[in-house]
A and B are shown apart, each in its own frame.
Chain A
Amino acid sequence: MTPKKPDAEKLWFSGNEALALGAHEASVRVASGYAGTPSTEILENVVNYKEIYTEWAPNEKVALEVAIGASFAGVRALSTMKHVGLNVAADPLFTASYTGVRGGLVIVVADDPSMYSSQNEQDSRNYAYAAKLPMLEPADPAEAKEFLKLGYQISEQFDTPVLLRSCTRVAHVKGVVSPGEVQTSSVTPGLVRNPAQMVMLPAHARGRRVAIAARQQKLADFAETWTENRVEMGDRTMGIIAAGTSYLYAKEAFPNASFLKLGMINPLPEKMIRDFAGQVETLYIVEDLDPFIEMRVKAMGIDCIGKEKIPAIGELSPSVVRKAITGDTGSATFAPVDLPPRPPNMCPGCPHRGLFYNLNRLKVFVSGDIGCYTLGALPPLSAMDACVCMGASIGMAHGMAKALGDEGLGKVVAVIGDSTFIHSGLNSLINTVYNKSYSTVIILDNRITAMTGQQPNPASGSTIMGEPANSIDFPALCRAVGVKYVRTVDPHDIEGTYAVLKEEIERPEPSVVITRFPCVLTPEEKKRPKSPFRSIIKNCTGCGMCLRLGCPSINWVPLLPEEAKALGKKEKQKGYVLINEATCIGCGQCLSLCKFEAISAGEAK
């Protein structure tokens, strides 16, 4: 058979690219978000649609407030973030539910079941219920684009912000997407004074509270007939209610079952659910994480099977769903082989490495934060002792200082990246000074938001739209909030950094040390000519000092006694160190650790 050529108009898009196209087709005019895996690439693609003003905000709360303002000014607005970002944006979210919108407002929140790149596994659907907002849940890139457009219609029709729940397997899955028509908003841009709806004084809010109840009822009625809540009748012995990727997994596992596929998970279409339940023998609720749909279906008095079989921890898959429901483990699979683990690691030449090497030497308790540098917790650096959420390092270090009093002096430091400091660390630094702490705060300034893939931030000197911008002067900022001791060091200078750290950590007053060197993955650093270092094998005694950096370019080569002898070394020397010149960028950290002149600077290339 001759394969049919795909429609030339079909696109191969990730969920995040599809959401960006959806923003374009929905005539979004303002988009603001904060980078966070797996949501980051939405705005990185939105910025390619020149009619949309796009920005990275310092944090998710600011991003949502910008979007609310744009909506009040009568244009369609988008805010994007990862699941934990919605915690930061929760304050404006709950009250934006009260104000409603002028231009359509959609908040895309990306969950991360199984925590591929996150510190917790929270289920954002709970926010939709708590904030009394509609939430749409697409299953794949094609639906993501369509649901975003539908979200704007719902937002303007029902005077409400709309939540769209993405997840790792929508955001970072690629699939076929068809471009569609550009739809326009019926709202006229401009400033309209409407204090009863836009100024949330208690008296106004009480009125809005009643309006929300009415809106919820209207949305519940709408959900009953909305075409994206649909029944696919098959074998009636098994009925499955599912939304998003869970629907795909269940469909793959049980292609012949009957399905109620929900496009909107809040509010739920009660009548539709009752009708469906009445037509099937056994009703299953297949959903990842919390029993969100299940609890509500059970509250309707409908018998169903949910979390007693479907795992509440980790992401689902066809095999997980099949095994949970039937006990069928599929064809016997090969057992995993015990292998050396391969965790992620800081890049060769990463400026963070030198700092964490020193923190390990200083044996201080490191209150850490979220970024590439969280990898400093792993051996051999092993120099992070606490990490909770964005910006927490400084507040926690202050709390430790207050708990320990004089006993803790010289024992605690906070470590935070430039972007995370701007996100939510500054308030805590103000608190540290104001409430007379002694903790030392280390700001790892690598000029960029690195972990999520090199997004510019307010310290980088440019915007997502590629325009030059102000670059925060960290030393001046820290002095302005009252820190008297602010020092900037080059983290590649191991001994220089050590001396400064030692002095500041022992100081009985707040201090800030800024380690300043650009991330090796910034475009400028990538372009810079490199001089990789070389091993001088004849000089290497195998002492292993350089290995303490955990640099991927530094490799241990084991030697048998006869091999050692052949190399002119003592028979008891167990090996030597070889630098991989193809990956080394010549940062020089290892050079200063070698006492035997077994490492030499190479030639520039």
Chain B
Amino acid sequence: MKEQGNIHFCGVGGQGILLASELTAHALLAAGFDAKKSEVHGMAQRGGSVEAHLRFGRGKVYSPLIEPGTVDIMLAFEMMEAVRYLPFLNKKSTVIVNTQKIAPPIVATGKIPYPDQCLDAITQQGIVLVPMDAFAIARKVGNLKAVNVALVGVLSRYLPVDEATWLEVIKKRLPTKILEVNLKAFHEGRKAGQ
């Protein structure tokens, strides 16, 4: 992995995207990088499409926004949302996608079907796609809300941060009550990301 990079987090409001991007940022900072992260708050969070931009580097990071075509790694929490942000990707990008489908209102009310084959738009460009059933991992570790930390586990394989640092950050950042299950989710995700 390069000494600088752009990580794009996307999914649906309420999936725990902010926490995933926070853990990742803290891991990169602990590994000695500078970083800036842009988040979406407010009305857009209500079940809408949500993204977070995380940029890191050895030197000073100026802009908090990732430019189109410059994402190194995308961590997508939902299939269709990965495709929505396709213009941010390039042929060298890696896309880790949770193979979960969440119906937007127009699909949930039966007006149009969910585009089941949408990920083809990414693979057709020759982009490396890492599909991941993080929901299954979360179920396996016993907490459906651990999807986000399972995905962080997958992501950890692709970043210049050692495992001990990741674990240190997770232990420091998560409340004791949910720590054990999330550590399991992280390990399972990291294993699956091999």
Contacts and interface: CB of A to CB of B under 8 A. Distances in A.
A169 B38 contact: yes
A547 B111 CA distance: 11
A317 B39 contact: no
Given A339-B115, A344-B13, A175 B68 contact: no
B72 interface: no
Interface in B106-134: 106-110, 112-115, 118, 121, 125
Contacts of B67: 317-319, 330
Given A172-B41, A318-B65, A342 B110 contact: no
A345 B65 contact: no
Interface residues of A, number: 64
Contact of A6 (B30, B38, B62): B30
A172 B48 contact: no
B47 A344 contact: yes
Contacts of B22: 174
Nearest to A316: B65
Interface string A348-389: 000000000000000000000000100100111000000000
Interface string B19-61: 0001001100111111111111111111111000000000001
A179 interface: no
A248 interface: yes
**Which residue among A169, A339, A341, A547 has the maximum number of chain B CB atoms within 10 Å of its CB?**
A339
A544 B111 CA distance: 11
B142 interface: no
Contact of B64 (A6, A41, A169, A319): A169
Given A340-B80, A341-B104, A451-B42, A547 B47 contact: no
Given A330-B67, A552-B105, A6 B47 contact: no
Contacts, number: 179
A3 B43 contact: no
A175 B41 CA distance: 16
Interface string A445-469: 0000001110000000000000000
Contacts of B80: 339-340, 342
A451 B43 CA distance: 6
A334 B125 CA distance: 9
A116 interface: yes
Given A169-B64, A333-B68, A550 B44 contact: no
A251 interface: yes
A513 interface: no
Nearest to B107: A340
Nearest to B106: A340
Contact of B35 (A38, A176, A375, A379): A176
A3 B110 contact: no
Contacts of A116: 40, 42-44
Interface stretch (A228-236, A276-284, A553-561): A553-561
B192 interface: no
B84 interface: yes
A462 B29 CA distance: 38
A345 B118 contact: no
B1 to A, nearest CB: 12
B37 A173 contact: yes
A249 interface: yes
A207 to B, nearest CB: 44
Contacts of A173: 36-39, 64
A552 B13 CA distance: 12
B103 A37 contact: no
B112 A340 contact: yes
B26 A117 contact: no
Contact of B105 (A172, A343, A575): A343
Contact of A3 (B32, B39, B103): B32
Interface string B151-183: 000000000000000000000000000000000
A317 B42 CA distance: 21
Given A172-B40, A340-B106, A342-B104, A12 B64 contact: no
- Which 6 A-B pairs rank lowest in CB-CB distance, beginning with the nearest? A3-B32, A556-B110, A37-B42, A117-B42, A344-B48, A344-B46
9 contacts: A14-B39, A116-B43, A337-B83, A341-B104, A343-B105, A347-B47, A451-B42, A544-B109, A547-B108
Given A12-B35, A174-B37, 4 more contacts: A37-B42, A40-B41, A252-B62, A333-B90
